[in-house]
Amino acid sequence: MKALPNVDVLIVGGGWTGLTIAKELGSRTPLSVLVLERGPVHDPDDYPKEMDELDYAIRKHSGTKVQDCSKETATLRRSPSEQALPLRELGLLIPGTGVGGAGEHWGATAYRIMPDCFQVLSKTVEKYGTKRLPEDHSLKDWGITYDEMEPYYTRAEKMLGVSGKAGNIRGTIIPGGNIHEGWRSTEYPTPPTVTPYFASLFRDAAASLGYHPFPAPTATLSQAYTNPDGVSRPGCTYCGFCNMYGCMISAKAQPTGVLMPVIKKQRNVTIRTGAWVRRIVRDNSAKEARVRGVTYVDDMGEEVFQPADLVILATWTLNNTRLLLLSGIGEAYNPTTGKGAIGRNLTVDFKTPAARVLMEKPLNRFIGSAPTGIYVTDMEAGIINNTDLPFLRGGILRALNSGYQPIGTFGPVPKSIKNNWGSEWKKAAVYWYDRIEDIRWDGEGLAYRGNYMDLDPTYKDVHGDPLIRLTMDWRDNERQMADFGTKKGVEAARVMGAKEIIPYRGLGHFDANPYVVTQLRGGTIMGASPDDSVVNSFQQHFQASNLFILGSSVIPHAPSARPTLTIISMSIRVSDAIINRYVKSPGPLA
């Protein structure tokens, strides 16, 4: 096998988290930093040509923007008694590939996690006792607190240029913002994006129901902005080609627009594309457990050993977990004995179309940007009182104007139309096309002992390595909460003057078909002890102190908020810990 010269820091994966730490280490230290990315380079100058729903949102332009699942996918089963089958097409998950990763096509939702989520177990028990906890839960406190995270959230928001309206600045409550949010040290860098028609109807309805609606915080700029790194970007034009597309003017924060302009100037940072990492290599000669690099296959098919003093794994939830399992670094989780940590606490939040709303007037819903709209957080975990409710925790009710394209959204009709093809259906679907919109519920997903990842015994990737297997299903807590969200969504739709409301059918079983969320969480979770956690609170592997892990895989459960802003903030925190402490004195930080 070809062996290359050693580098100081090796980062596996060139998405949001890997490139964030590459930017921090590259611009603040003289360390040599190498990023290995298996996909290609993305050029935002190409993005105007990619405003094509068929190729990008429907066919998902496999292999260049999103992971080519003909080469590697995951398998899914809902219980150990079911045969796990491969996700043969991308649908449930849309992982990115290439420099920028899924950060190029993400939805730019940039909402902070509620403070008590970081201490989900102790805060829940404090309020409701242990009796309310589901029998097979595996909830745990994360090992960091919101107060510790606040400065990093602020730095991440400034770096991305998050647009929004603060509702709590150092304890001062500000009407019009999110009055339920955790304290913020400062206002958002830019004001909220414009609220389009449907979302404005929802806002008014929500206010009349006694809620406290506020504009969704977006990592899409409402106006031109220059961040602390000196990177300037223009405001959003609401063209609607947002989620599933790269933003052609970089109004949406994407790694190619926010991080690459800084990284490109750092001579100590190299990004090597076409490098498919297959193993992290253990250092068996060292007294303490350490890793000494990785092996990868380059795009010519050649196996390469890349040594490094420090390895940072930043390849997304499933790949982070899979690489540790394939490399045998740490102990695989066994759901029967409860022993082992790699793979446990696979969790996901759930997004439901709580109420499909048919309105009398046209909505012009092609106008928008993925996260633009209105949130209601009065039913968020820690805010709502669960005493008399059949579930724990909570979620967000929201109405967004994401900028809809027709292939993916054409077809819904009133319930009275029974066909989904033919003249009657066509007439109705054409009439209602621009009059239908969803009020959605984003619910918090708990962690359970039976939801986990391991290596699939049957299916393999293109190199012959086992695929990751997801064992995952909803429990009654999620199902009950989804029904509650539906009730609240229908209530709001009535106040909005809907002509007809189609309530969500219910959560049922975990399903491979509809898109849920790419940011599954867990698998390499953080915590206080190696008995039930893979990394410590500085995201450093318990069994190898020169291996750090970034991304949603370290998050032990699934708050209602999409995790991207949080994992970027956590990556800045890890960068600080490496620069201020680890580099000076390598070894365990906690």
- Applying CB under 8 A, which residues contact other proteins? 47-49, 51-54, 58-60, 62-63, 68-70, 73, 76, 78, 82-83, 85-89, 91-92, 194-197, 200, 234-241, 248-249, 361-362, 364, 366-368, 405-407, 410-411, 420-423, 426-427, 430-431, 433-434, 458-460, 509, 511-513
- Residue 25: other Cβ atoms inside 10 A: 25
Q: Mention every residue, 6+ apart, whose C-beta is less than 8 A from residue 298.
A: 274, 275, 276, 304
Backbone angles phi, psi at 573, to 5 degrees: -65, -45
To other proteins, the closest distance from the beta carbon of 247 in angstroms equals 10
Backbone angles phi, psi at 440, to 5 degrees: -115, 155
| Rounded Cα gap, residues 344 and 321, in angstroms | 9
Q: Which is nearer to other proteins, 299 or 302 (CB)?
A: 299
Q: Which of 268, 194, 188, 192 is nearest to 227 (CA)?
A: 188
To other proteins, the closest distance from the beta carbon of 364 in angstroms equals 5
Q: Which is nearer to other proteins, 67 or 306 (CB)?
A: 67
- Residue 483: other Cβ atoms inside 10 A: 19
| Rounded Cα gap, residues 205 and 269, in angstroms | 51
To other proteins, the closest distance from the beta carbon of 362 in angstroms equals 4
Q: Which is nearer to other proteins, 161 or 246 (CB)?
A: 246
Based on C-alpha coordinates, what's the Rg of the chain?
A: 23
To other proteins, the closest distance from the beta carbon of 589 in angstroms equals 39
Q: Which is nearer to other proteins, 209 or 428 (CB)?
A: 428
Computed from CA positions of residues 244, 249, 251, 254, in that sequence, does the dihedral angle turn out positive or negative?
positive
To other proteins, the closest distance from the beta carbon of 350 in angstroms equals 15
Q: Which is nearer to other proteins, 25 or 363 (CB)?
A: 363
Q: Which is nearer to other proteins, 16 or 198 (CB)?
A: 198
- The answer to whether the CB of 77 falls within 8 A of the CB of 470 is yes
Q: Which is nearer to other proteins, 47 or 106 (CB)?
A: 47
- The answer to whether the CB of 403 falls within 8 A of the CB of 244 is no
Q: Is 328 helix (H, G, I), strand (E, B) or coil?
A: coil
| Rounded Cα gap, residues 464 and 506, in angstroms | 38
| Rounded Cα gap, residues 9 and 308, in angstroms | 6
Q: Is 315 helix (H, G, I), strand (E, B) or coil?
A: coil
- Residue 312: other Cβ atoms inside 10 A: 27
Q: Which is nearer to other proteins, 167 or 235 (CB)?
A: 235
| Rounded Cα gap, residues 94 and 288, in angstroms | 38
To other proteins, the closest distance from the beta carbon of 453 in angstroms equals 16
Helices marked H in 496-543: none
Q: Which is nearer to other proteins, 121 or 363 (CB)?
A: 363
To other proteins, the closest distance from the beta carbon of 265 in angstroms equals 21
Q: Which is nearer to other proteins, 83 or 336 (CB)?
A: 83
To other proteins, the closest distance from the beta carbon of 425 in angstroms equals 9
Residue type at 99 in one-letter notation: V
| Rounded Cα gap, residues 176 and 212, in angstroms | 8
**Structure tokens of 509?**
């079983």
| Rounded Cα gap, residues 388 and 480, in angstroms | 13
To other proteins, the closest distance from the beta carbon of 235 in angstroms equals 8
To other proteins, the closest distance from the beta carbon of 199 in angstroms equals 10
